[in-house]
């Protein structure tokens, strides 16, 4: 690149003779490390997800199952209403 500076130019700062680049050497390539970091992070995420999935077995649990706060109860605050009383077709016919 330094030799391009020394080239002969016209009044519009354009080179009189087209320079040719024969060989290029990269001293610092900031993009070469990016794919490796992404691969390492994806492997860490996979390992963490495998650990988390191995901890969860079967039924899901709520916060009250994990915490030791005495204000949280495993009993429901309000009992759910009973299912509606449905009569069978046979009972309706006899009425």
Output helix, strand, coil percentages for the chain, rounded to the nearest 5.
Answer: 40, 0, 60
pLDDT in tens, 24-54: 888 877 777 666 667 677 777 777 666 555 5
pLDDT in tens, 50-68: 655 555 556 666 666 666 7
Cα 6 from Cα 13, distance rounded (Å): 12
Cα 4 from Cα 24, distance rounded (Å): 13
% residues pLDDT > 70 (the chain): 52
CA-based nearest residue to 16, from 24, 6, 25, 26: 6
pTM of the model: 0.24
């Amino acid at each position: 690149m330094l030799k391009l500076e020394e080239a002969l130019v016209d009044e519009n700062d354009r080179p009189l003779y087209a320079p040719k680049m024969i060989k290029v050497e990269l001293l610092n390539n900031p993009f070469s490390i990016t794919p490796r970091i992404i691969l390492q992070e994806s492997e860490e995420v996979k390992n963490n997800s495998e650990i988390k999935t191995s901890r969860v077995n079967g039924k899901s649990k709520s916060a009250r199952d994990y915490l030791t706060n005495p204000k949280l109860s495993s009993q429901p605050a309000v009992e759910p209403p009973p299912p509606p009383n449905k009569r069978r077709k046979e009972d309706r016919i006899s009425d």
